[in-house]
């Protein structure tokens, strides 16, 4: 299996990468961990003429914690997040998501930024990014802009990152009371249904992000509304979780029917909320 021929560039700085993208337009494609792009290139679903490898750019590889806020560079790998002590303490959801992705080799190469931009409907990160209400910083030829998680996922495999732009950083407020519960497709590890929950017991509020169920990952708005201002007891969490697929048309394929995905959304939401609340 060989990809179509391409030229290869490995810029050292973000500016250099951005100018390569401006110069080559549609013909150029960024390469991060390569674990979505390379399989697609081997199948010739993607045939870029120029591959711009951002694997050695400085400044996109750090995890920073400051005043309850966390900043994660786009090129941080799933494995680095899974192994981060800082994140395990401050935001266990991120560690649980990273550890549940694919397998060790995939986690060693795949990046959070690449996953988010690829926006696979069965990818794991979107659930967490939605539940944490993340801010996503994007660099482009005109400078930097910030997009909120709610405006980031625009369609199947589509995001707010435009051609010529580079996702640089993901920023979230640390949430110790958070958890991820996933039912995976056994062969690939991708999510049939992944639910990320963040519980704020003081403000009596929860946020729930769900991936794998609908064509585009979503916030379970009905669940969140049902629990607004409620004492977050086990019974009320379970009852609210019953609305995890309300208003959603679930995906159906050879791996799971629409009914089964909706069922998983309800069950995993109950479990994720309970685990988050217990932290």
Ligand X SMILES: Cc1cc2nc3c(=O)[nH]c(=O)nc-3n(C[C@H](O)[C@H](O)[C@H](O)COP(=O)(O)OP(=O)(O)OC[C@H]3O[C@@H](n4cnc5c(N)ncnc54)[C@H](O)[C@@H]3O)c2cc1C
Point out which residues bind ligand X (CB under 6 A): 29-37, 39, 74, 101-102, 106, 109-111, 113-115, 117-118, 120, 123-125, 161, 166-167, 188-190
- Buried b vs exposed e over 82-98: b needs ≥16 C-beta within 10 Å? bebeebeebbbbbbbbb
55 touches other proteins by CB under 8 A: yes
Strands 191-200 vs 205-211: parallel, antiparallel or unpaired: antiparallel
Closest of 56, 63, 78 to residue 12, by C-alpha: 56
By CB under 8 A, the residues from 147 to 206 that bind other proteins are 187-189
Nearer to other proteins, 77 or 268 (CB): 77
Residue nearer to other proteins on the CB measure, 152 or 190:
190
242 lies in the site for other proteins, by CB under 8 A: no
Taking CB within 5 to 8 Å according to partner kind, which of other proteins, ligand X, none is near residue 206?
none
Tell how far CA 277 is from the center of its chain: 22
- In whole angstroms, what is the distance from residue 210 CA to residue 241 CA? 12
Q: Which is nearer to ligand X, 166 or 213 (CB)?
A: 166
Residue 183's alpha-carbon distances to 65, 153, 191, 233, in angstroms, are 30, 21, 6, 24
Name the minimum Å distance from CB 148 to ligand X.
17
| Torsion (CA) 97, 101, 107, 113 in degrees, nearest 10 | -60
* Nearest approach, Cβ of residue 154 and ligand X (Å): 14
SS3 267: helix
Q: Which is nearer to ligand X, 95 or 166 (CB)?
A: 166
Q: Is 3 in the site for other proteins (CB under 8 A)?
A: yes
**Can you give the binding site for other proteins, defined by CB under 8 A?**
1-8, 10, 31, 34-35, 38-39, 41-42, 51, 53, 55, 79, 102-106, 108-109, 187-189
């Amino acid at each position: 299996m060989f990809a179509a021929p391409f030229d290869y560039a490995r810029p050292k700085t973000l500016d250099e990468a951005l100018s390569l993208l401006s110069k080559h337009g549609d013909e150029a494609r960024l390469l991060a961990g390569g674990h979505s792009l390379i399989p697609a290139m081997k199948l010739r679903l993607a045939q870029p003429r120029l591959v711009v490898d951002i694997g050695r750019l400085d400044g996109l590889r750090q995890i920073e914690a400051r005043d309850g806020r966390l900043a994660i560079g786009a090129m941080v790998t799933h494995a680095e997040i899974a192994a981060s002590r800082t994140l395990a303490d401050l935001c266990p959801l991120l560690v649980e998501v990273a550890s549940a992705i694919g397998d060790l080799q995939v986690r060693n190469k795949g990046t959070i930024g690449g996953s988010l931009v690829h926006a696979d409907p069965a990818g794991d990160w979107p659930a967490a990014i939605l539940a944490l209400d993340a801010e996503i910083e994007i660099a482009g030829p005109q400078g930097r802009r910030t997009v909120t998680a709610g405006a980031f996922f625009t369609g199947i495999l589509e995001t707010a990152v435009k051609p010529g732009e580079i996702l640089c950083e993901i920023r979230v407020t640390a949430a110790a009371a958070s958890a991820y519960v996933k039912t995976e497709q056994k062969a690939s590890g991708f999510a049939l249904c992944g639910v990320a929950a963040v519980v704020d017991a003081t403000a009596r509020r929860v946020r729930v992000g769900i991936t794998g169920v609908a064509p585009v990952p979503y916030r379970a708005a009905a669940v969140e509304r049902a629990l607004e201002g409620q004492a977050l007891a086990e019974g009320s969490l379970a009852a609210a979780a019953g609305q995890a697929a309300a208003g959603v048309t679930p995906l159906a394929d050879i791996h799971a029917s629409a009914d089964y995905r909706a069922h998983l959304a309800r069950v995993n939401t109950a479990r994720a909320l309970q685990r988050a609340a217990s932290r």
